[in-house]
């Protein structure tokens, strides 16, 4: 990576245009453009101002080496791990520091070396743990500017836990912004902070919400898998996934309706008359348990609405009407099915 590449990368990370950067440094926009294209190099006197403007060190700015490959990173880290197990921690630390100085823009190397040294630092007896921590923390902070979203999130995760261990929950909370609002991990981390800062009801509620939405995600994924196996004609796996869905509904205390409803799709696909009749009977009998999770102690800190009995009754009537649909043509003449149909006339 040339100095021009470094300038371009971090200028864009900062959200600066070439014109804005030029104005801040007292040069022309064409000069910045030439740096980035490799036509010219910045004046030596501008190196420190450029680094400050871009929020990087001069070491990073002056990196002319390419990144290591994933294989090279893996090989180096394997050697570092062996050194940390057999040699003095300080030797391994200096080795990693030297490697990072050689490849200051190799974000994966920086993050993974930092994690490895951080883990060892916490268990080793060291005379200057804080000194090592300061450098390792700086490496994590550098990775927060990484182009790779995964590296940024991993660095933020490491910093979050570092400050949680230090009971500095305010500082830990600053790193939550590196996680998407839709990321369950962000909510879980916020719940941990709440549990440590006198906001236990909020912590309970957040964990229960994660549990509840996690169940929904599990069932959607199981349904997708079930469909895949059905499309491939794998009856055994389709049935297996019905069992798993039912067990999940029971474990998460969703109510009897959720425990029995997932098999109907497979039973109809197989045209299994006995199974279809049994499942439909159980579904009709358990309609009143839809929304039973609202009464579960697993979700006691959440505000969940119970299902209106009139809605349940309406759903039951619609199900009874559907018994004559073409979908269930194979059920005609089945004694148990005819008995269910007779209920719709009562």
Check if the beta carbon of residue 34 is closer than 8 Å to that of residue 41.
no
Reading the block at residue 174, the tokens are 């600053």
Spatial separation of the C-alpha atoms in residues 57 and 157, rounded to whole Å:
23
Q: What's the confidence (pLDDT) of residue 254?
A: 96
Check if the beta carbon of residue 298 is closer than 8 Å to that of residue 253.
yes
Reading the block at residue 126, the tokens are 């060291």
User: Does 67 have pLDDT greater than 90?
Assistant: no
Q: What does the pLDDT look like over 309-325, one tens digit per residue?
A: 888 888 888 888 889 89
To the nearest whole number, what is the mean pLDDT of the chain?
91
pTM over 0.85: no
- Of the candidates 91, 26, 71, the one whose C-alpha atom is nearest the C-alpha of residue 53 is 26
Tell me which DSSP letter residue 66 carries.
P
Q: What does the pLDDT look like over 194-247, one tens digit per residue?
A: 999 999 999 999 999 999 999 999 999 999 999 999 999 999 999 999 999 999
Say what percent of the chain tops pLDDT 70. 97
CATH superfamily of 70-196: Tetratricopeptide repeat domain (1.25.40.10)
Dihedrals φ, ψ of 125, to 5°? Answer: -90, 105
Check if the beta carbon of residue 55 is closer than 8 Å to that of residue 10.
yes
User: Does 262 have pLDDT greater than 60?
Assistant: yes
- Of the candidates 153, 188, 152, 158, the one whose C-alpha atom is nearest the C-alpha of residue 172 is 158
Q: What does the pLDDT look like over 8-55, one tens digit per residue?
A: 888 998 899 999 999 999 999 999 999 988 888 898 889 899 999 998
Q: Can 3-61 and 70-196 be said to share one CATH topology?
A: no
Tell me which residue has tokens 């839709």.
182
Q: Which helix (H) or strand (E) holds 69?
A: none
Q: What's the confidence (pLDDT) of residue 65?
A: 56
Q: What's the confidence (pLDDT) of residue 307?
A: 84
CATH number of 3-61: 1.10.260.40
The domain limits of the chain are: 3-61, 70-196, 202-343
Mean per-residue pLDDT, 60-83: 83
Spatial separation of the C-alpha atoms in residues 73 and 65, rounded to whole Å:
14
Answer left, alpha or beta for residue 204, where phi above 0 means left and psi between -120 and 50 means alpha.
Answer: alpha
């Amino acid at each position: 990576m040339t100095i021009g590449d470094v300038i371009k990368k971090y200028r864009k990370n900062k959200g600066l245009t070439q014109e804005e950067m030029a104005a801040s440094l007292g040069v022309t926009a064409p000069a910045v453009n030439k740096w980035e294209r490799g036509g010219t190099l910045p004046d030596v006197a501008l190196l420190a101002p450029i680094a400050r403007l871009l929020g990087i060190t001069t070491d990073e700015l002056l990196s002319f080496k390419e990144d290591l490959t994933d294989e090279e990173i893996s090989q180096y880290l394997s050697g570092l791990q062996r050194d940390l197990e057999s040699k003095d921690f300080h030797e391994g630390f200096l080795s990693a520091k030297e490697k990072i100085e050689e490849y200051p823009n190799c974000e994966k190397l920086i993050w993974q070396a930092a994690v490895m040294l951080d883990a060892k630092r916490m268990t080793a007896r060291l005379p200057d743990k804080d000194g090592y921590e300061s450098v390792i923390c700086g490496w994590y902070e550098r990775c927060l500017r990484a182009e790779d979203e995964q590296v940024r999130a991993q660095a933020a995760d490491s910093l979050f836990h570092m400050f949680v261990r230090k009971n500095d929950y305010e500082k830990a909370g600053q790193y939550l912004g590196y996680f998407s609002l839709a990321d369950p991990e962000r909510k879980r981390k916020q719940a941990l902070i709440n549990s440590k800062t006198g906001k236990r009801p909020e912590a309970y509620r957040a964990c229960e919400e994660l549990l509840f939405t996690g169940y929904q995600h599990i069932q959607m994924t199981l349904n997708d898998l079930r469909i895949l196996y059905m499309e491939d004609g794998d009856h055994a796996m389709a049935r297996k996934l019905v069992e798993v869905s039912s067990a999940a509904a029971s474990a998460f205390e969703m109510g009897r309706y959720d425990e029995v409803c997932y098999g109907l799709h497979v039973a109809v696909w197989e045209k299994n008359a006995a199974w279809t009749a049994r499942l439909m009977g159980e579904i009709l009998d358990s309609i009143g348990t839809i929304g039973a999770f609202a009464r579960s102690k697993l979700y006691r800190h959440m505000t969940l609405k119970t299902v209106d009995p009139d809605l349940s009754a309406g759903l039951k009537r619609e199900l009874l009407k559907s018994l004559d649909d073409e979908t269930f043509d194979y059920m005609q003449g089945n004694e148990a099915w005819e008995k269910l149909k007779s209920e719709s006339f009562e």
